[in-house]
Amino acid sequence: LGEEGFSRLQQARVAVFGVGGVGGYVCEALVRSGAEHLDVFDRDDVSESNLNRQIIALHSTLGQDKVSVMAARLRDIEPEAEIGCRRMFYLPENADSVDLRQYDYVIDAVDTVAAKIELAVRCDALGVPLIAAMGAGNKLDPSRLQIADVYKTSVCPLARAMRTALRKQGVKHLTVAYSTEEPVRPAIVTDAEDGRRKDIPASMAFVPAAMGLLIASHVVRQI
């Protein structure tokens, strides 16, 4: 990175929304690369279903809130790191409580479409750099991951939905990490009440992790 580039990374303030399968690896890679000022946003607790793919999910952390576990891990990597914990799900209803102008970069690794759209609209209006994770579930091949403008993506159903919503909001650009792999059809789960097919999105360890590392690489290089 060079001395000047590394200094910029150390001083940059970055927000990571969602510290699950993708976001956890983003945080890990940023701090291991030299970033020292992160704010992490999530309201979930670590659960047993997270053990197959989330870097903070261990039997020793089950039941603990994710942002606290993430912050403790990051400080264990770099004791001087300043990690802000915000135990919240970012949504349009509470978006005003977060001042996005303070950040040099914002990373969207949340699952909720409404939150993703809100972050995109607000960052676009403020001129704050943002990269958003698209769908990592139901994918098996990490080599199919790419970074592109959301309007130049293909295959990904979430990216398609984001394009439609952002076009209506007048947002003309959004950098995203996405997969060109066709989603794998998950196992069939039958709803006992009405007998209808109910698909549960599935994840393996490698695609969310690879997406998180790809996003972190992009952010470090941009900073």
Amino acid 219: pLDDT = 98
**Contact between residue 83 and residue 74 where contact means Cβ atoms under 8 Å apart:** yes
Q: Name the token pair of 219.
A: 């952010």
Measured in residues, the chain has a length of 223
Provide the pLDDT confidence category of residue 201 given band limits of 50, 70 and 90.
confident
| Burial class of 192 by CB neighbour count within 10 A (0 to 12, 13 to 18, 19+) | exposed
pTM for the predicted model, two decimal places: 0.95
On the question of pLDDT at 190 being above 60, the answer is no
Which SS3 state, helix, strand or coil, does residue 203 take?
Answer: coil
On the question of pLDDT at 193 being above 90, the answer is no
Give the rounded percent of residues in the chain with a pLDDT score beyond 90.
91
d(CA 141, CA 180): 9
In sequence order, the β-bridge partners of residue 169 are none
Which residues are CB-contacts of 102 (< 8 A; sequence separation ≥ 6)?
A: 13
pLDDT, averaged across the chain: 95
Which SS3 state, helix, strand or coil, does residue 223 take?
Answer: coil
Q: Give Cα 143 to chain centroid, integer Å.
A: 18
Taking only the tens place, the pLDDT of each residue in 98-157 is: 999 999 999 999 999 999 999 999 999 999 999 999 999 999 999 999 999 999 999 999
d(CA 71, CA 48): 20
On the question of pLDDT at 191 being above 90, the answer is no
The two counts, helices (H) then strands (E), for the chain are 6, 7
Taking only the tens place, the pLDDT of each residue in 74-93 is: 999 999 999 999 999 999 99
On the question of pLDDT at 207 being above 60, the answer is yes
On the question of pLDDT at 192 being above 60, the answer is no
Provide the pLDDT confidence category of residue 202 given band limits of 50, 70 and 90.
confident
d(CA 79, CA 77): 6
